[in-house]
Amino acid sequence: MYISKSIIKKMLKDAGAERVSDSSAKAFQDMLNKFAFGVAQKSVKLCKHAKRKTVEESDIKLAFQ
């Protein structure tokens, strides 16, 4: 896992949740990790397509769209 469950719980509480169950935090964690990893993969693909070795902010922004 890339994003810890404690960070997920904090995020949900900062968003207004009074309490967060372990199962909901785990589900949110799984979905967020999959999404973030997908953006990372697209960013690297864009970087390689541009014949660069360094992933840049523009790669991240374009992959996020």
Q: What is the domain range of residue 11?
A: 5-64
For the chain, the residue count is 65
pTM: 0.84
CB 8 within 8 A of CB 25: yes
CATH code for the domain in which residue 42 is found:
1.10.20.10
For 12-51, write each residue's pLDDT tens digit: 999 999 999 999 999 999 999 999 999 999 999 999 999 9
Residues 20 and 18: their CA atoms lie apart, in Å, by 7
First CA to last CA distance, the chain:
23
Into how many domains does the chain fold? 1
CB 35 within 8 A of CB 3: no
